[in-house]
Amino acid sequence: MSDVAVLGVGMHPWGKWGDSFVKYGVAAARAALADADVPWTDVDLVVGGETVRNGYGGYVAGSTFASALGWNGARIATSYAACATGAQALDVARAKILAGQSEVALVVGADTTPKGFLAPNAGERWDDPDWLRFRLLGMTNPAYFALYARRRIDLYGATPEDFARVKVKNARHGLSNPNARYRKEVAVADVLGSPVVADPLHLLDICATSDGGAAVLLTSVDYARRRGLTDPVRVRAISTVTPTFPQTVIDMPLFSTDHAGVVPAGERTFKESLAHAAYEEAGLAPEDVDVAEVYDLSTALELDWMEDLGLCDRGTAEELLRAGETTIGGRIPVNPSGGLACFGEAVPAQALAQVCELTWQLRGQATGRQVEGARVGITANQGLFGHGSSVILSR
């Protein structure tokens, strides 16, 4: 048996609240425990998603959350993998459960973010590519998003109107999500009329930075059965693979791609390999997926992820979008939560927030945004320096 059960999920709403990340994480953790109807005293492992912007407490997030909830003797761990942090923390908890070293694991991620671009920590670090891209090139995150968007335009004929349609769809999805920060319907004209941030992307094409928290309570299948749950949502796969050389598509924070003149490019790109590993582990295929939560840092990136996950052929994501197939009620709904377009980035929490949303979807509890009959869901995230993740859940 390689599955673990998702007994509880919880979130603190996204926004700009001005409070400590600990408050958001504790609120999400308590919501997950209440959702599972599991007492805190049963938790024997706490895994925290590290947040580098919140002092020493953020660096030792597992301990920080365990202490704030009340020391109960549980083991602790802390994970950091940039935007894939939550999934890596989830993987640590799952591994402990499958190894028989834990039965009830609480995974928590939360963040308090600055306004504007996410920049590297202070100080001069001339051997740090993430620092150098800002210092030497002035390459903010949206500048990379714009490169990816321009690539879709050049290769596949995408248009700024297509990118705007992604925002329109996700904004409509997020209207009924009580945890979303932005709950307002927009039109294509609104997106195209917002200021250009990095051509061809406008302000409404790009996600904000946010405060927020999310938590997931994982247990062994045996523990779930003892509590009378015979058909819980299960984690079928967690992929955290690294890229392979050469990388012929630029990844943040790199300045260039690898040369493929001597060593040919691999069979799959980095993002494609994340999904492939997850499907292999779960014994499933893209055709089995009913709903997807993907990392829409920009509207154009959502279209890329649809193809990276194998939900459609390369270069055809715009066709599905235009036909309404990626909205709720379509063939493969993408980001029914509203995605980062409606939430913004709270880095250690966002991969966990995707798992929360898919859990509610697979239980049939996503009121106002339910994907009917959903049985299999997949997530996708990518972080700096070769971090990435894809999680598959099923019912």
User: b/e map of 139-174 (b: 16 or more CB within 10 Å)?
Assistant: bbbbbbbbebbbebeeebebebebbbbbbbbbbbbb
Residue type, 129: P
Domains of the chain: 4-116+211-231 (3.40.47.10), 129-204+235-394 (3.40.47.10)
CA distance 361 to 92: 24
Residue found by looking up tokens 């509890």 in the block: 365
Closest CA to 380 of 306, 289, 312, 329: 306
Res 273: pLDDT: 95
**Is 50:80 a contact under the CB 8 Å cutoff?**
yes
Please tell me whether residue 349 adopts helix, strand or coil conformation.
helix
Res 249: pLDDT: 87
The secondary structure of residue 286, as a DSSP letter, is G
What parts of the chain have a pLDDT lower than 50?
none
Residue found by looking up tokens 């599905």 in the block: 320
Closest CA to 25 of 215, 178, 181: 215
Which H/E stretch holds residue 66?
A: helix 61-69
CB neighbours (10 Å) of residue 16?
A: 15
**Could you tell me what percent of the chain has a pLDDT over 90?**
84
Res 1: pLDDT: 55
Res 118: pLDDT: 79
CA distance 355 to 79: 17
CA distance 331 to 333: 6
The token pair at 48 is: 């925290």
Crossing angle of helices 160-174/299-308, nearest 10°? 90
By the 10 Å C-beta count (0-12 exposed, 13-18 middle, 19+ buried), 262 is classed as: exposed
CA distance 227 to 221: 10
CA distance 252 to 197: 17
Res 383: pLDDT: 87
Strand partners for 5: 219, 234
Closest CA to 327 of 137, 203, 174: 174
What are the respective helix, strand and coil percentages of the chain, to the nearest 5?
A: 40, 20, 40
> How far lies 208's CA from each of 57, 294, 315, in Å?
24, 16, 27
CA distance 99 to 386: 26
Over the stretch 231-252, which tens digit does the pLDDT of each residue have? 999 999 999 999 999 988 888 8
Residue found by looking up tokens 């049939």 in the block: 364
Over the stretch 148-191, which tens digit does the pLDDT of each residue have? 999 999 999 999 999 999 999 999 999 999 999 999 999 999 99
Residue-wise DSSP of 21-50: HHHHHHHHHHHHHHHHT--GGG--EEEEEP
> How far lies 359's CA from each of 54, 217, 320, 395, in Å?
29, 11, 25, 9
**Is 388:270 a contact under the CB 8 Å cutoff?**
yes
